[in-house]
Amino acid sequence: MRDSFDFQTYWHIVGRLARERRCLRFCDFDHEDPKEPYFILRHDVDYSPQAALILAEQEEARSIRATYFLLAGTRYYNLMAPEHSHVAKRLTDLGHEVGLHYDVNSFRPFPRPEWPRLLKAQATLLGELAAAPVRSIAMHQPALNGDDPFRGQALGFVNAYDDRFIRDSTYVSDSARAWRDSTWTMLKTGEFPERLQLSLHPINWAESDRERTAIFRSVHADLIKDSESAGEELLARIARHSGVIEHDERTSRGEA
């Protein structure tokens, strides 16, 4: 197996796992855990909804169902914007689960006792967009943002960072387009544990392998492009405003 982040490698990993054990979503753990060997396929959509949809469609074509964790609000995409408002529903239409990927920094301006209410508000909004209730949650970037404030709490959600998913099971991630040594050994040998949480970020995977810096420079470049496009669109809309047209025509006649 090559140390590459392309779709051929992706399907080598996921396909081999799916032949040997059940592929589950977090919503499949509402009650008791399955007894047979399984792996949970998880995707954190940190940057690119488009990359998520490309991967989701490939999975659906192969009868693979995953949990996609979406951020309710981030500088990289806005689920309420016209270009992204269809994403959550499209994922559920493909048979995937949509869970809430929450950024604890969005709660910090508020008193700590209000955090569960704010979490549930984000989950409710996401569920409306997905046309399916949100049943699972996962903290965004725990390595950077500290302890999960909702871990172990009975809030009515399945938490991807509860002990049964990261201590009683093996947790594997491709975060920042990198494999830890123990994970790489596991992927090469194919000696997988009976219970595995496989967290793969859609932004890392494409038709061709890409160097890490190129991936994240492209994220930044897309953000700049979107910002510039929004600025041009704003100016164009203002120029078409009837009040602006009347005002400018009046001032051009020297009547102001």
CATH number, residue 152:
3.20.20.370
Amino acid letter, 47: Y
Q: In terms of C-beta distances under 8 Å and separation of at least 24 residues, what long-range contacts does 157-162 make, across chains too?
A: 157/100, 157/123, 158/26, 158/27, 158/29, 158/30, 160/26, 160/42, 160/67, 160/69, 160/99, 160/136, 160/197
Close Cβ partners of 141 (under 8 Å, ≥ 6 residues apart) = 46, 103
pLDDT of residue 254: 86
pLDDT of residue 218: 93
The parent domain of residue 248 ranges over 212-252
Residue pair 13/187 in contact by the 8 Å Cβ criterion: yes
- For residues 113 and 50, membership in a common domain is answered with yes
Q: In terms of C-beta distances under 8 Å and separation of at least 24 residues, what long-range contacts does 133-136 make, across chains too?
A: 134/98, 134/99, 134/100, 135/26, 135/27, 135/30, 135/97, 135/99, 136/25, 136/26, 136/27, 136/67, 136/69, 136/97, 136/99, 136/100, 136/160
Close Cβ partners of 203 (under 8 Å, ≥ 6 residues apart) = 46, 47, 48, 51, 215, 219
- For residues 223 and 192, membership in a common domain is answered with no
pLDDT of residue 256: 62
Whether 2 maps to a domain, the answer reads no
pLDDT of residue 60: 98
Residue pair 53/82 in contact by the 8 Å Cβ criterion: no
* pLDDT-derived band at 106, boundaries 50, 70, 90: very high
How many whole angstroms separate alpha carbon 75 and alpha carbon 99? 19
Name the percent of the chain lying above pLDDT 70. 100
Classify residue 90 by burial, with Cβ atoms within 10 Å: 0-12, 13-18, 19+.
Answer: middle
pLDDT of residue 35: 82
pLDDT of residue 226: 83
Supply the DSSP string of 4-56, one letter for each residue. --BHHHHHHHHHHHHHHSEEE-GGGGSSSPPSS-EEEEEEEESS-HHHHHHHH
162 secondary structure, DSSP code? S
206 secondary structure, DSSP code? B
The residue-averaged pLDDT of 89-101 equals 98
- For residues 130 and 243, membership in a common domain is answered with no
pLDDT for residue 143 is more than 90 = no
- For residues 77 and 170, membership in a common domain is answered with yes
Whether 55 maps to a domain, the answer reads yes
* pLDDT-derived band at 104, boundaries 50, 70, 90: very high
pTM recorded for the entire structure: 0.92
- For residues 189 and 219, membership in a common domain is answered with no
- For residues 118 and 143, membership in a common domain is answered with yes
Q: Which of 199, 148, 207 is nearest to 177 (CA)?
A: 199
Strand 158-159 to strand 136-139: parallel, antiparallel, or no bridges (unpaired)? parallel
pLDDT digits (tens, 9 = 90+) for 112-130: 999 999 999 999 999 999 9
pLDDT digits (tens, 9 = 90+) for 193-234: 999 999 999 999 999 999 999 999 999 898 888 888 889 988
pLDDT of residue 115: 96
- For residues 185 and 245, membership in a common domain is answered with no
The residue-averaged pLDDT of 49-60 equals 98
pLDDT of residue 227: 85
Token pair recorded at residue 189: 């040998």
pLDDT of residue 1: 79
pLDDT digits (tens, 9 = 90+) for 145-179: 888 999 988 899 999 999 999 999 999 999 999 99
Name the percent of the chain lying above pLDDT 90. 80
Q: What is the length of the chain?
A: 256
pLDDT digits (tens, 9 = 90+) for 69-86: 999 989 899 999 999 999
pLDDT of residue 229: 86
pLDDT of residue 30: 78
How many distinct structural domains can be found in the chain?
A: 2
- For residues 124 and 71, membership in a common domain is answered with yes
pLDDT of residue 193: 94
